[in-house]
Structure 1
Amino acid sequence: MSDVQFQQAHNLGLPKARELAQRWADGAAAKMGLTCKHQEGAEQDVIAFERSGVNGTMTVTANSFDVNIKLGLMMKAFKPMIEAELAKNVSRMVEKGAGSAQA
């Protein structure tokens, strides 16, 4: 079972959600030292990410981002901070994506 679970609904469609998720993965890799692997599918994508003490996935569909993270023993102390940052970053990503989709 995951230590951190987060779901963010959206109405961006898969192509736009895919683009945003890839940007998120690129930023996470640069800022947090994550290794990310993106697997595209016809109806959903999965981005697997990991670094010492953290591994997880972001499942991207036409109407949601689902994030599941497993924390190592030392990282469990940071769980509340990780949850808050994840919620803030994914929500902001969806807001920006929705704004650019309407423009």
Structure 2
Amino acid sequence: MSYDPGRSNAGAERDAHDPAAIEARDQAFAAMFREGEQVWRVDAQYRDKDLAWIVDFLRQGPQGHWLRQRYKYDVPTGVIYFWGATPVPDGELRQLRRAGIRIVL
């Protein structure tokens, strides 16, 4: 998908929700994860003003603690930006895993 600065946001939003665009987004994120890693997508919101998806994942950090990690996926460029991580309390972990979508690599 190429970036056209003259195109309206409405056109970009339609492109962002196109199945092929969503597949490209999901493949870009999948490339970040290790094979066999336990990962759940727990939220994905499209932001029209940014032409971007804001996506939260549940995964284990380097020391084994569960984290909710937030990323921004820029639709026109296909670039992923890390927006931070927060620890997940044990009481919230089960709820997020049940409600999220498991990413299988």
- TM-score of the superposition, structure 2-length normalised? 0.35
Of the two, which has the highest radius of gyration? 2
Task: Tell me which protein shows more helix as a share of its residues.
Answer: 1
- TM-score of the superposition, structure 1-length normalised? 0.36
Work out which structure has the larger RCO, using CA pairs closer than 8 Å and 6 or more positions apart in sequence: 1
